[in-house]
């Protein structure tokens, strides 16, 4: 079948669209206008979706459409591969109001790609800046809440040391010590702002842009849904409204809805992370006791040594002494630790058949709550995880992680999860670094807890944000720059193998 390109160009066979030149990195741009704009393998609405873009991105495109077939605005090639239809969901006019308003992408250089916060009280999702009367209408007992906030906001908005405070090297590995105290942030920065507290142009004077959220609301609506207490949000900005809106600060979510910042509790994610083990290899362990100590062995005597911090990573020699409750293992430094106080990763005597020629695979132990990244027969990274809270139960009837051999088939820089998949009672928007390997089961960052090393999820594999980002960038398929998600298979790589076992 031949498809006729636009502008009188030559016809191309359907299987020749892959030969369309890759747009130059510094070429003209295309802007998505919705939260999920499909990128298709060929320029046809029925063609396979290979990934997607999200409002806020700017993606390099071809100078002209490659065809107008079944797309009035034309199909444009996008970088590095695929085609996007220009129309209601995408534009080449960067002065489009939605494109101008939504000009923030997730920061893929950081473990927490946005600023995050939880609701401390039920709140409406506003579509424009509400006046004082509208706030009273949509927010119950607002006067009492604002009085409490004025007294307590310094404590309410305090941030602990988080994932983004840990310095990373070019490979995404943690380097240097984790700060011992939170880095002070002004109120704007805590809620995604950048120091300018004026309302953005698209919200000034009662303005609004079309509702980008999945919640349907009429054009005249002031709100698009209410969110319950403890729901989690990613934020791309904040501002202080004028006196007609009680001078409140509002935070802007990734889909351009507004939340009162005084009802949000900022969150910074766990600073915990695993370790590069290319040099040390296995066996190794993470300390998993709050009051663990090294032990010194000399001749037949054993004496308690200095303490070792909770979740410290320790390379082991493989030497063991004692048994039962008295079993101890030797560290590479010649000291000993109690086995009962560790999450140990053993050195296997045999490896699976796919562990060859640098093949990437992920090994997860449910009983040990550990994850190891492998490149062929070489272990490269190890960390603690949180798998399903019901351990080795039946995943179809309990909160357990399925065991078996899988492949990552879909990756999202962020995506929304609800209580049916996340270990949380309420909706969690923009969960970072999500990698699906079986149905709704995924590896992903958990910014809402710091309990890694203990099962607690609804079945997914929770990682600390630093670890989740590292695994996401290391595994396949890769998500191209400025895309928000990609699917395994042609034209991308096959998905990385995931082996989950007791």
Using the 3D structure, point to which of 311, 345, 379 is the last residue of a domain. Answer: 345
Least confident of 42-56, 196-210, 314-328, 410-424: 410-424
Same domain, 172 and 250: yes
What are the CA-CA distances from residue 216 to residues 36, 37, 132, 212 (Å)? 15, 18, 24, 9
- Burial (0-12, 13-18, 19+ Cβ within 10 Å), 299: exposed
**Long-range contacts, 300-305 (Cβ 8 Å, 24+):** 302/328, 302/336, 305/335
Taking the C-alpha atoms of residue 80 and residue 60, their distance in angstroms, rounded to an integer, is 8
Number of structural domains (the chain) is 4
pLDDT beyond 50 at 10: no
Same domain, 424 and 475: yes
Same domain, 333 and 385: no
Is 13 among the domain residues? yes
Interior angle at CA 222, CA 221 and CA 225, nearest 5: 85
* Confidence (pLDDT) at 8: 40
* Confidence (pLDDT) at 423: 54
pLDDT beyond 60 at 228: yes
Same domain, 400 and 460: yes
CATH code at position 326: 2.30.30.40
Same domain, 32 and 169: no
| pLDDT tens profile 284-337 | 999 999 999 999 998 878 999 999 999 999 999 999 998 888 899 999 999 999
Using the 3D structure, point to which of 56, 78, 101 is the last residue of a domain. Answer: 101
Same domain, 173 and 294: no
pLDDT category of residue 4 using cuts at 50, 70 and 90: very low
What are the CA-CA distances from residue 78 to residues 47, 49, 88, 206, 404 (Å)? 15, 13, 17, 35, 37
Taking the C-alpha atoms of residue 329 and residue 283, their distance in angstroms, rounded to an integer, is 10
Is 142 among the domain residues? yes
Same domain, 311 and 392: no
pLDDT beyond 60 at 12: no
CATH code at position 383: 2.40.440.10
Name which of 277, 251, 255 is nearest 263 in CA terms: 251
Q: What would the mean pLDDT of 226-231 be, rounded to a whole number?
A: 94
* Confidence (pLDDT) at 300: 79
pTM of the model: 0.94
- Residue-averaged pLDDT of the chain: 93
What are the CA-CA distances from residue 327 to residues 65, 84, 331, 367, 369 (Å)? 69, 61, 13, 18, 20
pLDDT beyond 50 at 3: no
Same domain, 338 and 406: no
Region of 477 please: left (phi>0), alpha (psi -120 to 50) or beta. beta
Interior angle at CA 226, CA 221 and CA 231, nearest 5: 145
pLDDT beyond 80 at 14: no
Structure tokens at 226: 């209410």
- Burial (0-12, 13-18, 19+ Cβ within 10 Å), 195: exposed
Same domain, 378 and 324: no
The single-letter DSSP state of residue 196 is -
Using the 3D structure, point to which of 208, 240, 267 is the last residue of a domain. Answer: 267
Same domain, 426 and 326: no
Q: What would the mean pLDDT of 356-366 be, rounded to a whole number?
A: 95
Is 222 among the domain residues? yes
Same domain, 402 and 324: no
Range of the domain at 39: 2-101
Is 448 among the domain residues? yes
Is 226 among the domain residues? yes
Is 275 among the domain residues? no
Is 477 among the domain residues? yes
Is 307 among the domain residues? yes
Q: What would the mean pLDDT of 421-445 be, rounded to a whole number?
A: 87
What are the beta bridge partners of residue 499?
Answer: 363, 405
Residues belonging to the chain: 502
């Amino acid at each position: 079948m031949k498809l006729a390109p636009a502008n009188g160009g030559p016809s191309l066979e359907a299987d020749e669209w892959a030969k369309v030149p890759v747009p130059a990195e510094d070429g003209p741009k295309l802007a998505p206008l919705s939260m999920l704009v499909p990128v298709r393998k060929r320029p046809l609405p029925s063609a396979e979706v290979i990934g997607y873009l999200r409002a806020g991105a700017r993606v390099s495109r071809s100078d002209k459409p490659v065809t107008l077939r079944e797309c009035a605005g034309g199909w444009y090639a996008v970088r590095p591969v695929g085609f996007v239809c220009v129309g209601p969901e995408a534009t080449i006019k960067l002065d489009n109001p939605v494109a101008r308003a939504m000009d923030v992408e997730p920061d893929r250089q950081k473990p927490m790609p946005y600023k995050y916060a939880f609701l401390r009280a039920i709140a409406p999702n506003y579509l424009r800046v509400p006046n004082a009367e509208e706030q009273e209408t949509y927010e119950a007992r607002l006067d009492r809440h604002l009085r409490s906030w004025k007294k307590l906001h310094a404590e309410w908005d305090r941030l602990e040391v988080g994932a983004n405070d840990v310095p990373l090297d070019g490979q995404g590995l943690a380097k240097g010590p984790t700060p011992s105290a939170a880095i002070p942030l002004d109120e704007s920065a805590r809620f995604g702002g950048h120091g300018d507290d004026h309302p953005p142009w698209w919200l000034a004077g009662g303005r609004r842009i079309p509702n980008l959220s999945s919640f349907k609301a009429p054009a005249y609506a002031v709100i698009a849904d209410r969110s319950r207490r403890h729901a989690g949000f990613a934020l791309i900005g904040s501002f202080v409204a004028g006196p007609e809106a009680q001078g409140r600060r509002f935070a802007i979510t990734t889909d351009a809805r507004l939340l009162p910042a005084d009802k949000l509790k900022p969150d910074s994610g766990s600073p915990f992370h695993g370790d590069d083990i290319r040099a040390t290899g296995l066996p190794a362990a993470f300390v998993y006791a709050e009051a663990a100590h090294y032990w010194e062995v000399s001749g037949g005597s054993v004496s308690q040594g200095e303490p070792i911090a909770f979740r410290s990573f320790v390379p082991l020699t493989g030497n063991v002494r004692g048994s039962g409750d008295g079993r101890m293992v030797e560290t590479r430094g010649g000291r000993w630790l109690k086995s009962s106080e560790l999450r140990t990763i053993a050195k296997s005597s045999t490896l699976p058949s796919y562990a060859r020629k640098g093949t990437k695979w992920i090994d997860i132990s449910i009983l040990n709550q550990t994850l190891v990244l492998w490149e062929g027969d070489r272990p490269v990274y190890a960390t603690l995880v949180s798998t399903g809270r019901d351990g080795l139960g039946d995943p179809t009837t309990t909160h357990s992680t399925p065991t078996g051999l899988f492949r990552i088939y879909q990756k999202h820089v962020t995506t929304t999860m609800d209580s049916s998949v996340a270990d949380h009672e309420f909706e969690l928007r923009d969960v970072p670094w999500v990698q699906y390997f079986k149905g709704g089961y995924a590896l992903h960052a958990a910014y809402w807890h710091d309990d890694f090393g203990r099962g607690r999820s609804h079945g997914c594999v929770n990682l600390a944000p630093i670890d989740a980002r590292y695994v996401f960038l290391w595994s396949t398929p890769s998500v191209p720059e400025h895309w928000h998600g990609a699917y395994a298979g042609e034209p991308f790589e096959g998905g990385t193998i995931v082996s989950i076992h007791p």
